[in-house]
Amino acid sequence: MLKKYFHIIILLFVAGNALAAPDGRYGNRPLSGPKTHSSQQGDSIMKKVIGRADTYKKVVSRYEAEIYIKGKTEILRQNFLMRFAHHLFPVDRRNKDMIFEMVSHSEFNAPNNYRHGFEAINGNSIPNNIKQQEVLTFLNLNVYSPTIYNEGIIMPVAGEAFKYYTFNLERTETEGDRKIYQIRFMPKLWSQKLICGDLYVTDQDWHIDKIDVNGRFSFAEFNLVMTFGRDYRHFILPQKADLFLRYHVLGNAIASSYHTSFKYETVEWVEEDLEDQRDRPLDLTGYYQLSSDTIPIVSDSSYWRSKRDIPLTAEEEKKYGQTTLKAPYASDTSHIRKYLKITERLTNTISLDYKTTRLKYSGLLNPFQLGYSGRDGITYRQQIRFSKTFKKDRQLRFRPEIGFVFKRKELFFKFGGDWEYLPEKQGALSLNLGNTNQGYSSKIMNEINEQLKDSAFNFGNLDLQYFKHYYIELKNQIELFNGFQLTTGISYHRRIPARKSAIAPGENVTEIINENYHNFIPTIGFSYTPRQYYWMDGYRKEYLYSYYPTLSIEFGRAIPGVWKSSGNYGRVEADIHQSIYLGLSRRFNYHVSGGLYTAQKSTYFADYRYFTRHNFPESWGGDDFGGVFHQLRHEWFNASDKYVQAHVMYESPFMLFQLFKPEATKHIISERFYLSQLWMPVKPSYTEIGYGFGNHIFNVAAFVGFDKLKYEGIGFKFAFELFQ
């Protein structure tokens, strides 16, 4: 069995290496060696740069600028797989060579509010939103920040940079009365989290005059050269930037390049340290204003000559004339192309946007919807997301999904919908119906608890009678004040025997097994996160982060006599969880929750909200990969009227791989350790320990279970990150 699991991990590494491009600049061994005079000088200069970085990263409070962008994309090598993987990189498949120019009026408001309003575009193709996001992701760079690109890369100016980088003084240049040091920095361990290149540092004030860096981001190798202003008004703001990207995916190679220049209209400096203000505003509204269909096409050559800081080359002028934006693309009518188009729609995630309507479908034969766990084997899921936006950002959403667990041969479905009627207060009315895991009743639970007194008890020796569970739930959620949400709902549950009993009539358990159960349960819940930071996307309020934990509590009460309901009991659950950012792409998460059934005047089914089984492996982005038990047998989730559980997770880009297989760190973005503990009266101590790793393509983890510190078993979980 273990051999099979190791084969799975090896295949995942092969898949990761096949999708990730070999990088000629990156070696396979960590850098090491004795300190030279130039490295000692480099360290001395970088200590001064790092000492100033924390101040420089937040001295600008606001600016407005006109940004000119010229972009080019060339398909260097392609095969038929381009049809299936074209959305891994932004490319116009109908134009092998794409060139465009854009002018944007951009605003920045500290700490992280960027607005980009595009004013004009021209070229032989309109870049889509993905390509616009690609450009702006690299341009929205604070060179003095410890991490960039959503914590994707650790910068050489971070406070702990000497743990990850070596520094060398390459040369010293003098320009007038200005002395500039060229510092070559190299990672001690090759990783997508680290970069290499040169920093050009000015003497005395120790600010960065220019950067020339190489690295990997997602599926692209990149080179970014950015120069900064030298006068006192713009000394930390970029003046020009040249970005080169090279994608390698499934045998395809695509090269993109962008040239950018900045013209600043307004620059305002911070007069006091916002980070030290206890009453710092919680509203961090900021978003990209990107809308390709509203950007005016400007073909006036004199307009573009006035915006360019360098003229077009003869080759670029030629590409401009090959196609115009107004010309319709030639339709492809060959039988092979039609077949590939149909296949693409079957195997890829499909996203369709039209004005205020959006549709996303996972694809009927999409391999990225597969998952695997040791308990459930292979799983496959299909999802559709449909939304329609109305005035003031009110939104109607439908979320049907269906999945199959092959090992248990069970089909799960859920049809959900939301009407977000008050987006500024997160007010939403939701209706859900579906089925969940099969369970057994409290009467059967009591029989099992009696048998648990036998030390030789084993669930495998029982022929448990399970009930299929179907439900419908109507729920309303609204924010009463910032960070505090009220949730009310009613749900109706129907449970029917998974199979009729063969026990002869007259035996006292026959009615337990063969009758149906109905429960009508109103619920009320509260959730509160102190000092919750947020932003407003139009009228819609979206939570960002908080430095405090989130506390939740929910009360439910089954009421007998409503639509054949026989339930007469209460349920109380509480939860506290938090994600603590430790700096430099490190995180610590914890979940602690507990629940119990009260006033047990009738038969009930232990059906908790926070303590439940997950049938389909989740993306790391949702943290469910580390907030549940993975190896616990499903029978235990129904076996008690009370529980307490705790889960902790530590995430870092550098843990085991740097010690035992450093060359693999090129392909691993993050590693995680898990520790989970459960207490129930019938199972006083159950522990799980886990370890996982992942990248842009997949995440995989192994979990080991212990009952009272006695080894119970090991299992693996796997899920795709791509397109999630």
- Asked whether residue 598 falls in the same domain as residue 696, the answer is no
Residue 374 lies in a domain: no
pLDDT at 24 (0 to 100): 40
Four-point Cα dihedral 604, 610, 614, 619, nearest 10 = 160
Closest CA to 687 of 650, 647, 716, 656: 647
Examine the fold and report which residue of 263, 289, 322 is the final residue of a domain before the chain moves on.
Answer: 322
Residue 102 lies in a domain: yes
- Asked whether residue 223 falls in the same domain as residue 200, the answer is yes
Residue 406 lies in a domain: no
Examine the fold and report which residue of 322, 342, 358 is the final residue of a domain before the chain moves on.
Answer: 322
* C-alpha pair distances (Å), 602 with each of 492, 493, 523, 598: 16, 15, 18, 11
Decide: 180 and 203 in contact? Cβ < 8 Å: yes
Closest CA to 148 of 180, 116, 112: 112
DSSP assignment of 443-492: HHHHHHHHHTTSTT--GGG-----EEEEEEEEEEEEEEETTEEEEEEEEE
pLDDT at 422 (0 to 100): 95
- Asked whether residue 174 falls in the same domain as residue 240, the answer is yes
Decide: 417 and 431 in contact? Cβ < 8 Å: yes
Strands 178-187, 550-557: pairing kind: unpaired
Cis peptide before 111 (omega within 30 of 0): yes
pLDDT at 494 (0 to 100): 92
- Asked whether residue 597 falls in the same domain as residue 685, the answer is no
Residues of the chain below pLDDT 70: 1-34, 80-96, 110-114, 126-138, 232, 271-280, 284-295, 321-353, 363-367, 447-464, 500-514, 617-627, 722-724
pLDDT at 697 (0 to 100): 75
- Asked whether residue 667 falls in the same domain as residue 533, the answer is no
Q: What is the pLDDT of residues 314-345, one digit of tens each?
A: 888 877 766 555 433 333 434 434 444 444 45
DSSP assignment of 230-250: -STTTTTSEEEEEEEEEEEET
Residue 37 lies in a domain: yes
Closest CA to 410 of 439, 433, 385: 439
> What sign results for the dihedral spanned by CA atoms 191, 193, 199, 204?
negative
pLDDT at 26 (0 to 100): 39
Phi/psi at 123 (nearest 5 deg)?
A: 150, -165
Decide: 147 and 585 in contact? Cβ < 8 Å: yes
Structure tokens at 544: 């960002």
Phi/psi at 204 (nearest 5 deg)?
A: 75, -60
CA distance 181 to 354: 52
- Please name every residue paired with 517 in a beta bridge, in sequence order, or none if there are none: 495
Determine the structural domain holding residue 64 and report its residue range.
32-322
Domain count, the chain: 3
- Asked whether residue 6 falls in the same domain as residue 41, the answer is no
- Asked whether residue 693 falls in the same domain as residue 558, the answer is no
- Asked whether residue 570 falls in the same domain as residue 671, the answer is no
Q: How many helices (H) and strands (E) does the chain have?
A: 11, 33
- Asked whether residue 24 falls in the same domain as residue 36, the answer is no
Structure tokens at 502: 């063969």
Residue 628 lies in a domain: no
CA distance 473 to 25: 56
Residue 360 lies in a domain: no
Examine the fold and report which residue of 296, 322, 348 is the final residue of a domain before the chain moves on.
Answer: 322
- Asked whether residue 24 falls in the same domain as residue 67, the answer is no
Closest CA to 256 of 307, 216, 221: 221
Residue 337 lies in a domain: no
CA distance 400 to 385: 7
Structure tokens at 497: 């025997």
pLDDT at 501 (0 to 100): 54
Structure tokens at 118: 């595009």
- Asked whether residue 12 falls in the same domain as residue 77, the answer is no
Residue 92 lies in a domain: yes
Closest CA to 260 of 135, 117, 141, 150: 135
- Asked whether residue 229 falls in the same domain as residue 150, the answer is yes
pLDDT at 49 (0 to 100): 92
Structure tokens at 238: 């970029």
Strands 467-481, 534-537: pairing kind: unpaired
pLDDT at 497 (0 to 100): 84
